[in-house]
């Protein structure tokens, strides 16, 4: 330990030579009183105890040696490195020797009297602070402290009075008016009534330490606190007995911005966003940090639910103003999750994790909003995890079934096609897609699920054809499934395997599916090139753009059931549906009216010129065997008809 310190201490060789030159027994000892170097007057070997005990030695300045008889005077040389000077207490050691000893090296050496006036100093004062020996002599050393430093003197004097020593670090004014930070080891020698000190310039050391600290605690890009600092502040707030609240802010669609404008613009945007968020978190107890990527966190050290909600609303409000980046005006949206500590809920990681989960939930609910993490959400999250795990197992086993709902000709009700709808048989329950599709979507299971449904649907189509009742089958595909690079291949292979003509397969998509990913449109064209037909599902909800009817590669439009349900009572809906049917007819598109439940609805659809319908009035979704039985029943059999007309 001692050896290490000595090896790194640059001033030690100088002290060694001074010790060697002293005309009296003198030695350097470590903080345990063990001899490190000594002059020829001392017979003790290096490594052996010379004086004891050192703590006492330094405070008293005078102790008996390890041999129990010799009296040593001990002074700190470099307390940081644990080096002390021990000389025998003899009159002729003289202050001049001590001064000579301390005149070397870069450390400040001072002896001052009880009133604080300097009696002795070394050359380092000139080197480090720019004062000549004469200027320092008689100086009240306290006058060199910054005017606003009122505490140091009080503390030092108190420590010297009670402990006989002090180790303060304070700024000292140089002759040129600038300041240096000096760490002092002072001890008050009661025997002579003087204070004896050695000081070391630690300005650079501190600057470096501060810079290291800054780097370790802040996020380079935004200058905000980083995740580690944030967690520390959160833990501190919890330990101090506050009930902190955490806001987790997740930027919506940042990837799109990054991909389209480039990373430099993305960085610039994050920095601008960080500055705006930081400006919001101005109260004394709040901390705004960048969690990483496009995620930010805000801590309200004392945050009630109301306060957190107010902060979330304020943040969403602040984002309504656009950002100006790369010559563009960008409007950002964030999803915000809120979580807060309660008396029995005080784990910082968990609080942060829950805020994250709540933000995710906000995103799920449609972005640009906030969600508070509560018991309900915890239950929902737990349930979602359970469902996800069970769904993975279901995909491997045979719990997933494909039911088919007939599409019928109007009037008459002859079955012309069937929509494949996924079902999940868990125990005795048969779950509809509403219970698990969003989980599948989030867990990235849609491509697997899609492959399964497509293959079963095509198999069913092939079976119907084999049994003499060919009809088309439709499958619903989402963006997640349509962006799979091999989706067209998978469908083509399945068609080939079951020997179903591509014409008998219809892929149902929604307008939002096409809009959500660039890759969807080319895929639709490829599918159409194969001969597969495309249906625009749920028309009348969402975008309902007539332009889409013209621009998208579609063959069929399915009018949403919400439209159909209004037909009977609402004249406007009736008029619109009538026009839509005409328009589609003129464009050569087939139209299926979905969700027909009553004969009245069917009658209106027919009156408006609708020729195809689907709904509980005609048939509910059913397993393939039931459909086969239905369409091959002698009475149920109709004229062979595979076209939509
Ligand atoms: P969708 O494509 O619009 O399918 C029609 C939905 O309406 C089906 O619900 C069907 O059972 C229901 N429906 C049919 N006729 C009536 C009616 O007269 N009254 C009422 N109230 N409902 C009727 P389901 O099976 O629950 O499916 C819901 C949605 O889930 C589907 O809407 C579709 O978007 C999606 N979906 C179903 N199966 C799959 C699948 O295998 N893959 C994908 N990606 N999505 C699927
Ligand atoms: Mg559909
Ligand atoms: Mg639909």
CA distance 101 to 86: 12
45-49, 234-238, 253-257, 342-346: range with highest mean pLDDT: 234-238
Buried b (16+ CB within 10 A) or exposed e, 427-464: eeeebeeeebbebbbebebbbbbbbbbbbbbbbbbbbb
Q: Which two three-digit tokens encode residue 294?
A: 């496009």
Ligand 1 atom nearest to 453, measured from its CA: 41
Best CA proximity match to 630, nearest among 453, 403, 410, 459: 403
CATH assignment, 386-632: 3.20.20.450
Phi, psi of 572 (to 5 degrees): -65, -45
Q: What pLDDT does 57 receive?
A: 54
CA distance 443 to 487: 19
Ligand 1 atom nearest to 616, measured from its CA: 18
Q: Which residues pair with 38 in a beta bridge?
A: 27
The tens digit of pLDDT for each residue in 507-542 reads 999 998 988 888 999 999 999 999 999 999 999 887
- Is the alpha carbon torsion for 287, 291, 292, 294 positive or negative? negative
Question: Helix or strand or coil: residue 264?
Answer: helix
Mutate to test the pocket of ligand 1, among 476, 487, 612 (most ligand atoms within 8 A of CB): 476
Residues with Cβ–ion distance below 5 A, ligand 2: 476, 508, 537
* CATH fourth-level superfamily of 94-206: PAS domain (3.30.450.20)
Residues framing ligand 1 (Cβ under 6 A) = 405, 421-422, 432-434, 437, 453, 476-478, 508, 537-538, 561, 594-597, 614-616, 621
Ligand 1 centroid from CA 421, angstroms: 6
CA distance 2 to 24: 24
- Please check whether residue 169 is in contact with residue 179, taking contact to mean a CB–CB distance below 8 angstroms: no
**Listed range (54-68, 373-387, 394-408) with the worst mean pLDDT:** 54-68
Buried b (16+ CB within 10 A) or exposed e, 174-188: eeeeebbbbbbbbbb
Question: Helix or strand or coil: residue 302?
Answer: coil
User: At a CB cut-off of 8 Å and minimum separation 6, what does 632 contact?
Assistant: 467, 468, 469
Q: What pLDDT does 21 receive?
A: 67
The tens digit of pLDDT for each residue in 338-394 reads 999 988 888 999 899 999 999 999 998 888 899 999 888 888 888 888 889 999 999
Q: Which residues pair with 72 in a beta bridge?
A: 63, 88
Average pLDDT of the chain is 86
Q: What pLDDT does 74 receive?
A: 77
Q: Which residue has the higher pLDDT, 305 or 446?
A: 446
Ligand 1 atom nearest to 560, measured from its CA: 3
The tens digit of pLDDT for each residue in 274-319 reads 999 988 876 767 899 999 889 999 999 888 889 999 999 999 998 8
Pairing of strands 179-189, 169-173: antiparallel
Burial class (CB in 10 A: 0-12, 13-18, 19+), 316: middle
Pairing of strands 26-29, 35-38: antiparallel
CA distance 124 to 135: 13
Where do the DSSP E strands lie in 457-532? 472-476, 505-509
The average pLDDT across 100-126 equals: 80
Q: For residue 145, how many other CB atoms are within 10 A of its CB?
A: 18
Pairing of strands 71-78, 62-64: antiparallel
Q: What pLDDT does 205 receive?
A: 86
The tens digit of pLDDT for each residue in 553-563 reads 999 999 999 98
**Listed range (133-137, 169-173, 240-244) with the worst mean pLDDT:** 133-137
CA distance 279 to 281: 6
Q: Which residue has the higher pLDDT, 591 or 52?
A: 591
Per-domain residue ranges for the chain? 3-87, 94-206, 220-373, 386-632
**Listed range (2-6, 247-251, 312-316, 529-533) with the worst mean pLDDT:** 2-6
Where do the DSSP E strands lie in 485-616? 505-509, 533-539, 556-559, 590-593, 612-613
CA distances for 23 relative to 139, 346, 499, 642, angstroms? 32, 67, 110, 118
pLDDT band at 240 (very low <50, low <70, confident <90, very high): very high
Q: Which two three-digit tokens encode residue 318?
A: 């602040």
The pTM assigned to this predicted structure is 0.57
The average pLDDT across 598-627 equals: 97
Ligand 1 atom nearest to 478, measured from its CA: 44
pLDDT band at 188 (very low <50, low <70, confident <90, very high): confident
Mutate to test the pocket of ligand 1, among 407, 421, 616 (most ligand atoms within 8 A of CB): 421
Mutate to test the pocket of ligand 1, among 422, 433, 564, 566 (most ligand atoms within 8 A of CB): 433
Asked if residue 429 has pLDDT above 80, the reply is yes
Q: Class for domain 220-373, per CATH?
A: alpha beta
CA distance 635 to 394: 37
Ligand 1 atom nearest to 477, measured from its CA: 44
pLDDT band at 59 (very low <50, low <70, confident <90, very high): low
H or E element, residue 86: strand 83-88
- Is the alpha carbon torsion for 545, 551, 552, 553 positive or negative? positive
Task: Give the residue whose CA is nearest to atom 41 of ligand 1.
Answer: 422
- Please check whether residue 4 is in contact with residue 36, taking contact to mean a CB–CB distance below 8 angstroms: no
Ligand 1 centroid from CA 495, angstroms: 23
């Amino acid at each position: 330990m001692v050896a290490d310190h000595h090896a790194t201490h640059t001033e030690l060789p100088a002290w060694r030579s001074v010790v060697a030159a002293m005309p009296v027994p003198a030695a350097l000892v470590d903080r345990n009183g063990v001899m490190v170097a000594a002059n020829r007057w001392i017979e003790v070997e290096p490594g052996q105890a010379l004086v004891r005990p050192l703590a006492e030695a330094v405070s008293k300045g005078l102790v008996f040696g390890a041999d129990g008889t010799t009296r040593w005077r001990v002074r700190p040389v470099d307390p940081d490195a644990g080096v002390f000077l021990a000389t025998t207490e003899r009159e002729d050691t003289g202050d001049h020797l001590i001064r000579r000893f301390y005149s070397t090296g870069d450390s400040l050496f001072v002896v001052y009297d009880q009133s604080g006036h300097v009696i002795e100093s070394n050359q380092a004062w000139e080197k480090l602070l720019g004062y000549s020996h004469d200027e320092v002599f008689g100086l009240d050393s306290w006058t060199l402290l910054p005017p606003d430093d009122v505490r140091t003197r009080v503390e030092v004097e108190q420590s010297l009075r009670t402990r006989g020593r002090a180790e303060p670090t304070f700024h000292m004014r140089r002759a040129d008016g600038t300041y240096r930070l000096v760490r002092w080891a002072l001890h008050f020698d009661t025997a002579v009534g003087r204070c004896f000190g050695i000081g070391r310039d630690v300005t650079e050391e501190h600057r470096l330490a501060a810079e290291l600290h800054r780097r370790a605690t802040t996020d380079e890009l935004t200058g905000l606190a980083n995740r580690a600092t944030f967690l520390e502040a959160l833990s501190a707030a919890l330990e101090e007995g506050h009930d902190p609240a955490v806001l987790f802010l997740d930027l919506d669609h940042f990837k799109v911005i990054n991909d389209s404008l480039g990373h430099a613009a993305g960085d610039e945007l994050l920095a601008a966003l960080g500055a705006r968020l930081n400006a919001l978190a101005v109260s004394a107890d709040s901390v705004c940090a960048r969690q990483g990527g496009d995620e930010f966190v805000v801590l309200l050290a004392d945050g009630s639910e109301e306060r957190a909600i107010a902060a979330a609303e304020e943040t969403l409000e602040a984002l309504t103003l656009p950002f100006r980046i790369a010559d563009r005006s960008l409007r950002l949206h964030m999803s915000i999750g809120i979580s807060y500590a309660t008396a029995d809920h005080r784990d910082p990681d968990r609080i942060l994790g829950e805020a994250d989960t709540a933000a995710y939930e906000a995103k799920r609910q449609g972005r640009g909003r906030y969600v508070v993490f509560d018991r309900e959400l915890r239950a929902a999250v737990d349930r979602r995890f359970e469902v996800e795990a069970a769904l993975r197992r279901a995909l491997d086993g045979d719990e997933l079934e494909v039911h088919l709902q007939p599409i019928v000709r109007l009037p008459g009700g002859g079955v012309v096609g069937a929509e494949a709808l996924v079902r999940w048989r868990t125990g005795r329950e048969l779950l509809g897609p509403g219970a698990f599709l969003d989980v599948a979507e989030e867990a990235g299971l849609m491509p697997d699920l899609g492959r399964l449904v497509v293959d079963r649907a095509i198999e069913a189509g092939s079976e119907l054809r084999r049994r003499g009742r060919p009809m088309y089958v439709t499958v619903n595909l989402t963006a997640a499934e349509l962006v799979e690079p091999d989706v067209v291949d998978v469908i083509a292979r399945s068609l080939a395997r079951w020997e179903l003509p591509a014409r008998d397969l219809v892929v149902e998509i929604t307008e939002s599916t096409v809009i959500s990913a660039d890759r969807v449109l080319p895929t639709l064209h490829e599918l159409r090139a194969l001969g597969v037909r495309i249906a625009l599902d749920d028309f009348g909800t969402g975008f309902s753009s007539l332009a889409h009817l013209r621009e998208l590669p579609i063959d069929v439009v399915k009018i949403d059931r919400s439209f159909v349900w209004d037909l009977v009572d609402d004249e406007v809906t009736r008029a619109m549906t009538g026009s839509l049917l005409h328009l589609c007819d003129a464009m050569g598109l087939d139209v299926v009216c979905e969700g027909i439940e009553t004969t009245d609805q069917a009658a209106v659809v027919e009156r408006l010129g609708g020729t195809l319908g689907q709904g509980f009035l005609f048939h509910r979704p059913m397993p393939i065997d039931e459909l086969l039985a239905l369409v091959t029943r002698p009475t149920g059999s109709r004229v062979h008809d595979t076209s939509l007309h």
